[in-house]
Amino acid sequence: MGFWQDFFRKNGKALGLFLLGSVACWMLLMIILPQLFMLDFSFRTNVPPPLWGTEAHGYTFEHYRYMIYGSAQSTESYNFVDLSVFGRTILTAIFVTLIDVALCYPVAYYLAHVATGGWPRLMVMALIVPFWVNELLRAFAFKIMFGSTGIINNFLVAIGILDQPFDFIRNSVALYSGLSYAYILLMIFPIYNAVESLDKNQIEAARDLGSPWWRIHWRVVIPHAKPGITSGCTMVFMLTAGALAAPQILGGPSSLWFTQIIYQAFNQAGNWARGSAYAIILLATCIIFVLCVMKIFKVKLGEIAR
């Protein structure tokens, strides 16, 4: 009780109520309760909306079972369609994350320690610009570039590497590059911030002691940048796995993304319960991934969400 007395003494009644009210609204009505309701809903049978909350709307595991085994009528022993989409989504998200690390680390290091004069500041500002362009439009830009008459195909055909246009969209090349592009800035900024805080003298010292450049990176720079890399990886992984715009626009006709299956369950099949069960699966996977990464790299959540 002492805390609340103290709280209202410190803030006064009006301000205290405002703080308490807004935070309570936000945490309960917008963060915690909706997630709990979604969890609850995912365990309910799929009945039409008028019956929600009645007896018919009972508890069941059917949606989770469906994800693994498919419908009762199907002859397959497992639900290969959804499981393979799920697996592909997670693997692709990991792949995209690794590509982004490989792309961003050298650039971040260059910006932080190699570039001189006014360049780093200008480049960092330039990095922000594409991030403010709508996600859909960024995907659209890739669709234009990778189309069968797009500039890349025209170029490759013109210089004679290909004799006929290559279908980048059907082969998911457009999707992978679009996804790597979409969240690359959430990778480069944490790494840049971490690398920048490294004292240049440490690099100099390692060099003076005769360490080759790759060992300087391996033993000095990367350990220092670890929190930044971890934070970038979690952000990029989460956003890529949960992306909807880029797969909708860049995905080929036969390739689905897990979020698209959720979207279909809601908007086409009208099966909200299954949609929320799948959303819970996605959420749980993301949380497990973050916890694993935190455990492996020994960083705290506070360091990630910055």
CA 225 to chain centre: 20
Please pick, from the candidates 110, 226, 271, 297, the single residue that binds other proteins as defined by CB under 8 A.
Answer: 110
Which residues in 6-35 contact other proteins (CB under 8 A)? 7, 10-12, 14-16, 18-23, 25-27, 29-35
CB neighbours of 260 closer than 8 A, spacing ≥ 6?
A: 244, 247, 248, 251
Q: Report how far residue 164's alpha carbon sits from residue 38's, in angstroms, rounded to the nearest whole number.
A: 49
- Tell me the site size for other proteins, rule CB under 8 A: 94
Stretch in the footprint of other proteins (CB under 8 A) among 63-71, 84-92, 189-197, 258-266: 258-266
Closest CB 286 distance from other proteins, rounded Å: 6
Token pair of 47, please?
Answer: 């009945």
Tell me if 261 contacts other proteins by CB under 8 A: no
User: What is the DSSP annotation of 104-163?
Assistant: HHHHHHIIIII--TTHHHHHHHHHHHHHTS-HHHHHHHHHHHHSTTSHHHHHHHHTTS-S
Q: Report how far residue 181's alpha carbon sits from residue 11's, in angstroms, rounded to the nearest whole number.
A: 46
Tell me if 293 contacts other proteins by CB under 8 A: no
Q: Report how far residue 166's alpha carbon sits from residue 271's, in angstroms, rounded to the nearest whole number.
A: 38
Which residues in 116-135 contact other proteins (CB under 8 A)? 123, 125-130, 132-135
Which residues in 159-178 contact other proteins (CB under 8 A)? none
Tell me if 196 contacts other proteins by CB under 8 A: no
Please pick, from the candidates 63, 66, 100, 138, the single residue that binds other proteins as defined by CB under 8 A.
Answer: 138
Pair 188, 232: CB distance under 8 Å: yes
Distances (CA, A) of 183 to 21, 106, 296: 34, 17, 23
Please pick, from the candidates 43, 64, 69, 140, the single residue that binds other proteins as defined by CB under 8 A.
Answer: 140
**Nearest to other proteins of 128, 269 (CB atom):** 128
Pair 269, 100: CB distance under 8 Å: no
**Nearest to other proteins of 69, 131 (CB atom):** 131
Closest CB 282 distance from other proteins, rounded Å: 6
Which residues in 205-224 contact other proteins (CB under 8 A)? 213
Closest CB 72 distance from other proteins, rounded Å: 25
Closest CB 118 distance from other proteins, rounded Å: 14
Tell me if 99 contacts other proteins by CB under 8 A: no
**Nearest to other proteins of 78, 119 (CB atom):** 119
Please pick, from the candidates 184, 195, 216, 293, the single residue that binds other proteins as defined by CB under 8 A.
Answer: 184
How far apart, in Å, do the first and last CA atoms of the chain sit?
Answer: 32
Q: Report how far residue 94's alpha carbon sits from residue 288's, in angstroms, rounded to the nearest whole number.
A: 14
Tell me if 1 contacts other proteins by CB under 8 A: no
